[in-house]
Amino acid sequence: MGEVNETYHKDLLDLTELSKEEILSLLELAITIKKDIPAYSEVLKGKILAMIFEKSSTRTRLSFEAGMLQLGGQAIVLDSKNTQIARGEPVIDTANVMSGYVDAIMIRTFSDDMVKELAYYASVPVINGLTDKHHPCQILADFQTILEVKGKLEDVKIAYVGDGNNMAHSYLLGGALVGMNVSIASPEGYQPEQEIVEKARELAKASGATIEIGTNPEAAVLNADFIFTDVWASMGNENEAQEREQAFENIYQVNSELVKFAKPDYGFMHCLPAHRGEEVTEDIIDGPHSLIYQEAENRMHAQKALLVKLLAKEY
Ligand code: CP
Ligand code: NVA
């Protein structure tokens, strides 16, 4: 496999493919589309998005499918268990065959390398709908939500408390690109990957972002504008649930004591699905600072903007 074609107008594999200007322009379009859905109802007329799911999904599947329909296109969902992918058909063949049928491919799977390989061989855009390493579409929705609430991304402090997983990686890269202050608290042994942290620090130099990685949730949340968390055991880590519970419980939970360290008007966000009573208490996730449903809705608007940018030449 050679170098992947990493131009913005082909794929979205991870956020580092986008510049700050491209992220801002995409989010501006997302906010515009959200305000006038009918105005964009024919932009992707005749276009087809295929979606491959090797992991479960509610939001990603529905928001992409509804988004394509609202844009005048169509979406086809493949349950990978019932495809030849699950029986070991080479990615090169899947990529080439699918490129002959559809205009774009969204994939949710375990291996980030598999998604890169798919994008390398596919002649149509490939969108990462979550891998073990990245979840770029969620960050687009989350940053749209922050823009709606704060009117800016730069100099906003986001704190993430929990597993150094795909979400932590994506906040690090996204925040570093747009000039946020990103502070992460994860237990020893569950910290974000060093390679991602280094990439984020490099991006931060250009944007003026600050990156803090530690183990103390109170320090991370101090003066935060937004607090994020995620499940202690992601999809694929379920067999480690018990040992993870021991590493995270009592400390890595967003609760009424922890939020006292944030700004008084802090917002709480979670990509969902959430486990109430584990990474977040009910009073916080269902309380007045929670933005979770606005955030979930924005998955659709942000992804519509992404699809328009990838598939409609005039944008
Ligand atoms: N946040 C998110 O990606 O949700 P789903 O797993 O339901 O798609
Ligand atoms: N970190 C979670 C995110 C789910 C949207 C997972 O990968 O399961």
Q: What single letter denotes the amino acid at residue 307?
A: L
**Are both 26 and 70 inside the same structural domain?**
yes
- Per-residue pLDDT tens over the stretch 136-178: 999 999 999 999 999 999 999 999 999 999 999 999 999 999 9
Domain co-membership, 191 together with 250 = yes
pLDDT at 9: 55
The answer to whether residue 43 is domain-embedded is yes
Same-domain check for residues 275 and 128: no
**Cα–Cα nearest to 291, from 175, 145, 180:** 145
Domain extent for 248: 137-295
135, 169, 270, 301: the active-site residue = 135
pLDDT, position 79: 82
Does residue 232 form part of some domain? yes
Give, for 78, the enclosing helix (H) or strand (E): strand 74-79
CATH number at residue 214: 3.40.50.1370
Q: Is the pLDDT of residue 49 over 70?
A: yes
Ligand 1 center to 218 CA (angstroms): 27
Mean pLDDT across the chain = 95
Are 72 and 186 found together in one domain? no
| Average pLDDT of span 44-51 | 98
Q: Which bound ligand lies closest to the C-alpha atom of 53?
A: 1
User: Within this chain, do residues 39 and 152 fall inside the same structural domain, yes or no?
Assistant: no
Whether residues 143 and 242 fall in one domain = yes
pLDDT at 107: 98
Q: Is the pLDDT of residue 91 over 80?
A: yes
Using CB distances shorter than 6 Å, the residues near ligand 2 are 130, 165-167, 230-231, 234-235, 271
Q: Which atom of ligand 1 is nearest to the CA of 130?
A: 3
| Catalytic residue status for 61 | no
Give start and end residues of each alpha helix (H) in 179-236: 194-207, 217-221
Specify whether 160 is located in the same domain as 280.
Answer: yes
199 and 169 both lie in a single domain: yes
Residues 304 and 291 in one domain: no
Protein residue closest via CA to atom 6 of ligand 2: 234
Domain count, the chain: 2
What is the pLDDT at residue 314?
Answer: 78
Cis peptide before 273 (omega within 30 of 0): yes
* Whether residue 225 is found in the same domain as residue 171: yes
